[in-house]
Amino acid sequence: MLVWLPWSAYAAWRHTGRMGYALEAHLVAVRGGWWSRWWRFAEIDKLQALRLQRSPLDRWLGTASLWMDSAGAGGMSPPLRIRFLPEDEARALYAQLGRTLAGRRLRW
């Protein structure tokens, strides 16, 4: 356990240093990964669910995570989520996407 803890803390630190997101008028992109980097994309028109989530660690650090689900996403595909955002930024992004989605029709 003592050998695993420093490695886990280092990997988490490196992972959070590479995370990012971009929000455009028609697209949301999420970047992550440390050992193997990845990008996830979703059209705003195809988003069908939003969830703002705060774990006990998030509450302690003052952060939040935004989970999104898109129409047509496979059950085995990784989730589209923006993690460890400052709480105010996460709530603003959640409200902005919620307003945008409320005014659009779901497209398949």
Summarize pLDDT for 66-101 with one digit per residue, the tens. Answer: 999 887 777 777 778 898 899 999 999 999 999 988
Classify the C-alpha dihedral 46-52-53-58 as positive or negative. positive
Which DSSP string do the residues of 7-59 spell out, in sequence order?
HHHHHHHHHHHT-EEEE-SSEEEEEE-SSS-EEEEEEGGGEEEEEEE--HHHH
Class level of CATH domain 4-102: mainly beta
CA dist., res. 13 & res. 52, Å (int): 22
What 3-state class would DSSP assign to 97?
helix
- Domain boundaries of the chain, sorted by first residue: 4-102
Q: pTM for the complete prediction?
A: 0.80
- pLDDT, tens digit (0-9, with 9 covering 90-100), for 32-42: 887 888 888 98
